[in-house]
Structure formats: structure tokens, C-alpha cells
Amino acid sequence: MIVLGIESSCDDTSVSVLEDGKILSVATNTQLEHISFGGVIPEIASRAHLSFFPAVLQKALADSGRTPGEIDAIGVTYGPGLVGCLLVGVNFAKGLAFSLSRPLVPVNHIEAHITANYIEHPDIDFPFIVLVVSGGHTELVHVPEYGVYELIGKTRDDAAGECIDKVSKMLGLGFPGGRIIDELSARGDKNFVAFPRGMKNSLDFSFSGLKTAVKYYLEKQEPEFIKENIANIAASFLDSVTDSLTEKLFRAVKKYKVNTVLLAGGVSANSVLRKKVADFAGKKKIKFYYPSPKYCTDNAAMVAMTAYRKIMRSGSSEWNSGSDIDAVPFLKLSEKF
């Protein structure tokens, strides 16, 4: 079974080829056009996807050693995400599926992030708690069995990754801020500033108060002071973000009595977050899984894997050429196509 995955929910144009549960190739174009704007511009992203998809597809196929005619099915992200970006990917996949007479499997972007864990860890047991953290999503999910997702906590405002990007911009470090803040924090003192932790008595998250606290703190300091202590400020900020994330995760593990935890999404590549969860898992003797960094960000490998697992459970005959699939920008994890 050879499955082609297509991902375009935000600013990454990605195509992947999977064969019998193994990733053969992943080709991704990360759009650099948005850096100067300090964030993703949806119209620019949509047009870039339209330009890049043919070349990205060609590279993914060439790297895999497979031809279009050998593809058995196609998986595509149809939500959530930026509507224009999703439409480009969905319609590109529809055209490909129609031309090859192959089934088209719709894939939920958040489910794909969770499923990314199975690329390298195919034997994860149920039930588990997964913390999904990215630039657009921060969700705590209880997964009692395959395909069943119970949302038990979510952000009330900014996503964790969104907050990190905004604070990175405040500090003059650029966009995207995840890797920059992570690397800078390694050289800083996390106890330098006591930034707040939001919504301590809930499984929900809030990062707007932290973002505002950093803003007010910086406004009170001299530019030279900020420059000299930027690593300390970044470390203190990141400690607050990761504390908020892990405290809720640990509380959920206790409440639902699970023995397995997962991380998913772009922020799951953060070294501070991984260490805190790993330390907790080691002390409690529970299993802890997370994707390699290349599978944390938006990528088509996780889409191909999700489509493959769906086909293995229900058969390819359940899916058609995808004429009824449309982009759903605010798709919920629990919604079924």
C-alpha cells in the first residue's frame, strides 16, 4: 500500500510518500516570504502553495523512487487551518486523485500531529493523554482508543506557539520564535524574572496574561539592560510557558489514570518542554513518546500516516475521488468526515 500525503494548512507546502507504514520521502517548502512581516500572511501563503506544489510533488516522488501510477491512495489535510491554504491543497489533491483514479482520504490536521508519533513508535498503547502544542493550537486530549478524541483542555486565548512568536518579536529576535527562544534560553537563568502562570486550577490554558506581563516588564527596562539580560528574560518566559503546559498535562494524567503521555505539534520540539515531561514520566514510571523534530512541524508524512491508518482500519473502498471534500478552517478534532 503506497499512500501520498499532502499538507498545506499554513505556510508549509509538503508532500510525502509512505509505503506499508514506512515513510519513503518527505519534501517540504517552508515559505520564507513571511519573515519580514513577523507572521504568516494568508494571501501570500495561498499563492505560494499554488506555485510550489508541482515541484514539491515531483521531489517527493523522485526521492521515494515511486511513480504516480504506483500510488494507491492520497491523503490530504482539509482542516483546521487557513482557508485559502487548505483550499489549494485540497483541490490539488482532488485533481491528482481524479487523474489517477485513486481514493482521496480527508485528514484532520490535529489528528495528523498526534499520529506523527506512530511514524517512529508504531506500538503506542491506549489509553493516553496527548498535549498538542503549536503556533495555532494548544489542546489537551484524552485518547481512550483509536480514533476517539476527548478534548479535556484548550487555550482560552493565544496558543503557546503564538505567544512564543509574539514575545520573540517583542525581544527583537524575529519570526518564527520557537527555535530562537529555545536556543537562547539554554544560556539564561529561568529564575531571573518571576513571570505568571495562567489558570492554575483548570485543565484549560491562557497565555495572554503572560504575554502582557512580558510586555509591561520590557517597557520598564532600559534597552541596554534588556540586551545584556535577553537570555535570562527568554529563559524566564519559556519556563513560565512550559510550566503552564506541563502542570496541566500532569494533572490530566492523574485524573484519567493513564500510563502513557504524548507530545505533538511544533512546540513539542522544544527542549525545555521535553525535559520537564521526561523527568515527570521517569519519576512516575509512565511511557512518554514524542516525534522527531522533523515530524513536529507541519509535514505531509503525518498526513500520509493518518490516511494509511484509516485505510488499514476501514479499507480504501470507503473513500472516493474526494469530490465532496472541502476545506474546513475551524475543524474540530472530534468531527468526523
What pairing do the DSSP bridges indicate for beta strands 148-154 and 260-264?
A: unpaired
What is the rounded distance in angstroms from the CA atom of residue 278 to the CA atom of residue 249? 12
CB 62 within 8 A of CB 27: no
CB 220 within 8 A of CB 212: no
pLDDT, tens digit (0-9, with 9 covering 90-100), for 273-314? 999 999 999 999 999 999 999 999 999 999 999 999 999 988
Tell me the torsion sign for CA atoms 145, 149, 155, 158: positive
Backbone φ and ψ of 3, nearest 5°:
-120, 135
What is the rounded distance in angstroms from the CA atom of residue 313 to the CA atom of residue 1? 13
Domains of the chain: 2-115+299-318 (3.30.420.40), 124-294 (3.30.420.40)
What is the rounded distance in angstroms from the CA atom of residue 22 to the CA atom of residue 105? 18
- In terms of phi and psi (left: phi > 0; alpha: psi -120 to 50; beta: otherwise), the region of 101 is left
What is the rounded distance in angstroms from the CA atom of residue 303 to the CA atom of residue 53? 15
Question: What pLDDT, on a 0 to 100 scale, did the predictor assign at position 321?
Answer: 65
- Secondary structure in 3-state letters for 200-267: CCCCCECCHHHHHHHHHHHHCCCHHHHHHCHHHHHHHHHHHHHHHHHHHHHHHHHHHCCCEEEEECHH
* Assigned C-alpha cell, 16: 510525502
Neighbour-count burial of 287, counting CB atoms closer than 10 A to its CB (0-12 exposed, 13-18 middle, 19+ buried)? middle
Neighbour-count burial of 128, counting CB atoms closer than 10 A to its CB (0-12 exposed, 13-18 middle, 19+ buried)? buried
CB 53 within 8 A of CB 13: yes
C-alpha angle with apex 163: 159 to 52, nearest 5 degrees? 75
CB 156 within 8 A of CB 143: no
Mean pLDDT of the chain: 93
Q: What per-residue string of b and e applies to 10-47 under the rule 16 or more CB within 10 Å gives b?
A: bbbbbbbbbbeeebbbbbbbebeebeeeeebbeeebbb
* Residues in the chain with pLDDT values less than 50: none
Q: What are the counts of helices (DSSP H) followed by strands (DSSP E) for the chain?
A: 11, 10
* Assigned C-alpha cell, 155: 487555550
What is the rounded distance in angstroms from the CA atom of residue 26 to the CA atom of residue 314? 25
Q: What per-residue string of b and e applies to 303-317 under the rule 16 or more CB within 10 Å gives b?
A: bbbbbbbbbeeeebe
Question: What pLDDT, on a 0 to 100 scale, did the predictor assign at position 292?
Answer: 94
What is the rounded distance in angstroms from the CA atom of residue 322 to the CA atom of residue 133? 29
Question: What pLDDT, on a 0 to 100 scale, did the predictor assign at position 337?
Answer: 63
* Alpha-carbon distances, residue 43 vs 47, 112, 144 (angstroms): 6, 24, 39
